Amino acid sequence: MRKVLGLGNALTDILLQVSEDDLRELGLPKGSMNLITMEQAERIQMRFASVRKHMVAGGSASNTVTTIAQLGGKAAFIGKIGNDEVGDFYREDIIKNGVKPLLLTSDKMSGCSIVLITPDGERTFATYLGAAADMTADDIRKEAFIGYDIFHIEGYMVQDNELIEKAIRMAKESGCMVSLDLASYNVVNENHYFLKQLIRKYVDIVFANEDESFAYTHLNPQESVAKIAEQCDIAVVKVGKRGSYVQQGSNVCHIGAITTSCTDSTGAGDLYAGGFLHALSDGFDVRKCGEIGTIAAGRVVEIVGTKLPDDTWDEIRRICALYRGFMQKYVATESGGIL
């Protein structure tokens, strides 16, 4: 099994259930990711002081590698936190979830992402990066990539072009396959040219949802996955309740979504990527990778937040083991073995 290294913003998620009127009054486009100041973060939290909150260690790439670790894979995470209680909570939480922490520290406060969840399960992010934004290209060391096979990075890191390009270049020089999640349609819109050059030059796997893929290609999902697959090895476009499209070369798969009740879509894309990369590291074909990703994403939308209960992880691990058993029997049969 291959080992996966993630790089992203080390953010503690603060999840709040709100109305669409709340979003309009705050001036936040539904479904978007918005960078805010510490003062804005404090004002939003004060506005919803009486609303029940749920706090978990998060960040897109962190959620993805946590999924890999929970499914039995080997995963580590590079991020930056503050020397404060939130930073301590973050470190302890990812260790508890089986992820090796490769965390740097900053004099700034630890970052947080206020996740505003509307009744339809859609989430809008108001993110104070804090210490997470203090990471620079100088923090990236080639030795961090030694022993890892897949490097996964979140698109939110494109705020620093030098940082993301250096990290991906070092990963490739170390022999890693590079995976990129496009993160948010407004991130793609604001960094379109840079992302296009980055993907063509370095990236092996691209994850996007329908809005992100449209922002990148201006095409519908089926056309979009084909266009992205021309630029990398594996392209994935997720289309919510309609499932996902996966393409590798001329091999195109449509994976249907599982029937579920959507309470909160926070982290669905991250867990899809985690399930997909875990299956890929275990030698599955892209269809099976998409199916495992779909199961993980389908389970997380049933709850508030991104932390699945132990019995749910057990269920997904059993499915992975079942797939693995089928794959081993198939290989044995193809090579002349006996079922």
Tens of pLDDT along 150-199? Answer: 999 999 898 899 999 999 999 999 999 999 999 889 999 999 999 999 99
Give the separation between CA 183 and CA 249, rounded to whole angstroms. Answer: 23
The dihedral of CA 225, 71, 148, 301: what is its sign? positive
Q: Which one, of 200, 202, 138, lies nearest residue 173 by Cα?
A: 202
The dihedral of CA 276, 278, 283, 284: what is its sign? negative
The more confident residue out of 114 and 261 is 114
Res 330: pLDDT: 45
Residue 304 domain boundaries: 3-10+60-110+130-332
| Average pLDDT of the residues in 307-323 | 83
115 domain residue, yes or no: no
293 domain residue, yes or no: yes
Tokens of 13: 């998620």
35 domain residue, yes or no: no
CA atoms within 13 A on the CB side of 25: 10
Res 279: pLDDT: 94
Give the separation between CA 242 and CA 187, rounded to whole angstroms. Answer: 24
pLDDT at 139 over 80: yes
| φ, ψ at 221 (rounded to 5°) | -55, -45
Q: How many domains does the chain have?
A: 1
Most confidently modeled of 46-50, 130-134, 233-237? Answer: 233-237
Instruction: Provide the pLDDT confidence category of residue 336 given band limits of 50, 70 and 90.
Output: very low
152 domain residue, yes or no: yes
pLDDT at 306 over 90: no
120 domain residue, yes or no: no
- Tell me the pLDDT tens digit for each residue of 267-281: 789 999 999 999 999
The reported pTM is 0.85
306 domain residue, yes or no: yes
Q: What is the CATH number of the domain that holds 261?
A: 3.40.1190.20
Which residue reads 């993980």 in tokens?
296
Res 259: pLDDT: 66
312 domain residue, yes or no: yes
Instruction: Provide the pLDDT confidence category of residue 331 given band limits of 50, 70 and 90.
Output: very low
| Average pLDDT of the residues in 65-75 | 95
Res 338: pLDDT: 37
Q: How many CB atoms lie within 10 A of CB 52?
A: 9
Which residue reads 């798969």 in tokens?
253
The per-residue pLDDT of the chain, averaged, comes to: 89
42 domain residue, yes or no: no
Beta bridge partners of 128: 112
Q: State the distance between the two ends of the chain, measured CA to CA, in whole angstroms.
A: 23
Res 95: pLDDT: 96
| Average pLDDT of the residues in 47-71 | 90
| Average pLDDT of the residues in 310-333 | 72
